[in-house]
Amino acid sequence: MNLRTTIAIVGAGPAGLLLGHLLAKAGIDFVIIESRSREYILGRIRAGVLEESSVEVLAKLGLDGRLKQHGLVHDGIYLQFEGTRHHVDFAELIGRTVTVYGQQQVVDDLMLAHDELGSAIYFDSGDVMPKDVETPRPSVDFGHGGIRYSVEADFIVGADGFHGVCRSIIPASEITSFERDYPFAWLGILANVAPSTDELIYALHPDGFAMHSMRSPEVSRLYLQVDPDDDIGNWSDERIWAGLHERLGLDGWTLNEGEITEKSITPMRSFVASTMNYGTLFLAGDAGHIVPPTGAKGLNSAISDVAMLGAALTAYYAGDSGPLSTYSDRALSRQWKTQYFSRWMTDMLHTSGTGTEAEFRYRGQVGQLEYVTGSERALAVLAEQYTGLPIEGV
Ligand code: FAD
Ligand code: DHB
């Protein structure tokens, strides 16, 4: 069956769903094609921290009803090392905050608002294939409910994540991938227990990194640095709690335990594509870049990309093609800053190596953390980046 739309979006993660809302607001027609089911997407537990600029993007679209009600506004974070916990007060340093609100909740809010709009979202699609993106008449072919569709559009947006199909159709001569793997991964748990902290704790410990985050006043989210080739089967609930007590422990402070409802291991990677535009194809979010999670930037970068792309497409249909022609450069310019920050936070807080090599690294990290927590200027540099750089052109 042949369909026609203005923008064909591949992927119904946060990037694709949010772009749909930005286009709807501008009166631009779109369809979203997604390979997974709605339930599967809502079941994926991922990021948890929204930059202030991300909250502003959602608020401008009126998509912040539940976010305002249930999001936990945090004035700062804690950095912990060598048995001491230091508060980094973003509000005091630079007058900005972050909001703790799970990616699943963001995605649920975006999906419910699409239900109200009656948006065309094809979940459970198979063999999704973008075509003719070198031409002004690109299309996406896909199977859905036993029918083969071809949707023709002015532009295709690849919001289909790191493993998606869109980036892969760009000829190798037109794109370069910059990548860096890390010798560690995160074991993340969700636990039915009230958070033991008012704000997130990022901890460096000789055994490795640990973090205490949360999803609500009743649900905690915690992470432990593990080897990238470790198996979740090796980690009993008891072993996980013991590791968290050891790495997060402080005199006079107790980590509350609760029932673990989810546990998984996620490898870490830095990845940036050299371009986010090829012909009539634009990439957004994880399709164009991946960061290690220590700076809480994956979801926020997806939001900043589509905020820029949505504004650029809106300008295009109002007669100004300038912003669309510079989208890739502007998104990548913000992204490389985010890449550096995420790598810096990751390197500062994760241990690696053995013997004196490991000790050399650890002592340098303690030095860096002592410097950062002891310098108002350095703290402000961290605060500015953690709470989110400006989104240009939005
Ligand atoms: P995605 O959320 O990946 O969405 C892409 C969508 O495209 C998916 O729904 C996928 O099913 C769909 N798709 C893929 N291929 C196709 C195809 N061929 N056809 C149609 N649809 C397709 N970030 C943090 O900041 N903190 C964290 O703690 C954190 N934890 C994470 C844990 C995991 C396991 C992962 C994978 C990521 C994590 N991230 C984290 C990163 C953050 O979740 C992502 O940056 C964010 O989801 C990016 O949104 P997106 O919409 O670009 O991509
Ligand atoms: C969470 C994830 C992150 O990557 C991070 O830096 C902070 C919090 C979270 O899942 O809550």
All domains in the chain, ordered by first residue: 2-49+103-178+270-344 (3.50.50.60)
What CA–CA distance (Å, rounded) separates 146 from 143? Answer: 6
Q: Is 74 a catalytic residue?
A: yes
Closest by Cα among 233, 239, 231 to 257: 239
State the DSSP H helix or E strand holding residue 329, giving kind and residue range, or none if neither. Answer: helix 327-349
What's the pLDDT at 392?
A: 84
Question: Would the CB of 49 count as within 6 Å of ligand 2?
Answer: yes
What's the pLDDT at 329?
A: 98
Q: How confident is the model at residue 298 (pLDDT cuts 50, 70, 90)?
A: very high
Distance (angstroms) between ligand 2 centre and the Cα of 95 equals 21
DSSP per-residue codes, 243-285: HHHHHH-BTTB-PPP-EEEEEEEEEEEEEEES-SEETTEEE-G
Phi first, then psi, for residue 205 (nearest 5°) are -140, 150
| Mean per-residue pLDDT of the chain | 97
What CA–CA distance (Å, rounded) separates 296 from 345? Answer: 10
CB 110 within 8 A of CB 24: no
Closest by Cα among 149, 147, 113, 118 to 2: 149
- What is the reported pTM? 0.97
Alpha-carbon 161 to chain mean position: 10
Distance (angstroms) between ligand 1 centre and the Cα of 286 equals 6
Instruction: Map residue 191 onto helix, strand or coil.
Output: strand
pLDDT tens-digit profile of 213-269?
A: 999 999 999 999 999 999 999 999 999 999 999 999 999 999 999 999 999 999 999
**Hey, which residues does 260 pair with through a beta bridge?**
191
Residue 22 CB contacts under 8 Å (≥ 6 apart), including other chains = 61, 306, 307, 309, 310, 311, 313, 314
Mutation probe of ligand 1 site: the residue of 54, 103, 107, 349 with most atoms within 8 A of C-beta: 103
pLDDT tens-digit profile of 181-225?
A: 999 999 999 999 999 999 999 999 999 999 999 999 999 999 999
Q: How confident is the model at residue 393 (pLDDT cuts 50, 70, 90)?
A: confident
| Residues across the chain | 394
In the block, tokens 């535009």 appear at: 277
Distance (angstroms) between ligand 2 centre and the Cα of 75 equals 15
What CA–CA distance (Å, rounded) separates 235 from 372? Answer: 33
